[in-house]
């Protein structure tokens, strides 16, 4: 049985989902890929938007979430962040 995901893991999974889709994703696809309830995904999306890790944009009348430079930095350094977080019990 896999252990419960931490906040850092969930953020990583969401950013990875966007990255795997070439840097932009539809909200419905993100909901499916991040494996969260609608309510929890909304909470995380608000957090990612406020921390400027993602941006909201409209392409041909459809809403997309785009990975920002800040989000990419987090994504690339995820393993280091996770190791540090685990090591110090943060």
Partner 1 sequence: MGYNLGMVALQGPKWFFGVDSIFELAGTIILFLVFLISYNTYKLTDMKRYKYYSIAFFGLTLGHLARTITNFAIHQEWFALEELSRMFLLGYGAHIMFTLASLVLLVSFAFEVKQKKSFCILLLLMLSMIFVSSSFYIAFYWSALIMFGFVTGYLFINARHKKALSPKMVTLAFLFLTITQLLFLTSAVNPDFYMGAHISQIIGFLVLFIALVQVKTK
Name the site residues for partner 1 (rule: CB under 8 A): 8, 11, 51, 70, 73-74, 77, 79-90
Q: Which is nearer to partner 1, 59 or 76 (CB)?
A: 76
CA distances from 41 to 31, 52, 67, 79 (A): 7, 16, 16, 22
Q: First and final CA of the chain: distance in angstroms?
A: 23
Q: What CA–CA distance (Å, rounded) separates 44 from 42?
A: 5
Q: Which is nearer to partner 1, 29 or 47 (CB)?
A: 47
- The three-class DSSP label of residue 3 is coil
- The three-class DSSP label of residue 82 is helix
- Closest approach of partner 1 to the CB of residue 5, in Å: 14
- Closest approach of partner 1 to the CB of residue 80, in Å: 5
Q: Which is nearer to partner 1, 26 or 49 (CB)?
A: 49
- Closest approach of partner 1 to the CB of residue 18, in Å: 16
- Closest approach of partner 1 to the CB of residue 82, in Å: 8
């Amino acid at each position: 049985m896999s252990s419960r995901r931490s906040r850092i893991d969930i953020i990583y999974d969401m950013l990875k989902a966007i990255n795997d889709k070439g840097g932009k994703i539809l909200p419905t696809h993100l909901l499916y890929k991040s494996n969260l309830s609608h309510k929890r995904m909304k909470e995380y999306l608000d957090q990612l938007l406020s921390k400027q890790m993602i941006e909201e944009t409209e392409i041909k009348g459809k809403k997309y979430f785009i990975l920002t430079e800040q989000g990419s930095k987090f994504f690339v350094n995820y393993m280091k962040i996770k190791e540090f977080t685990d090591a110090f019990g943060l």
